[in-house]
Amino acid sequence: MGRAHRLVTAVWTVVAAGAALGFLARDLVGLPDAAVAAAWVAGAMAGGLLARGAWRRPSAPRRRPPV
């Protein structure tokens, strides 16, 4: 379950980062469509770098229940 959670988190990080930069480029700066697409790609790549670091981080060892 932990691996699936990390995968979904990584995918969501990529999508959210791309959407954030796309929003900034389109709505706040008013760039043309090609620049908005480039911002989406750049944001997704940045999110991928963040997710990659989190994906490689080892998960905490499981604690044994008290006896």
CA distances from 14 to 30, 42, 58, 63 (A): 23, 10, 20, 31
User: pTM of the entire structure?
Assistant: 0.70
Q: What is the pLDDT of residues 15-44, one digit of tens each?
A: 999 999 999 999 999 999 999 999 999 999
53 closest CA partner among 10, 17, 5: 10
Q: What is the CA radius of gyration of the chain?
A: 17
Helix and strand totals (H; E) in the chain: 2, 0
Say whether 59 sits in a helix, a strand or coil: coil
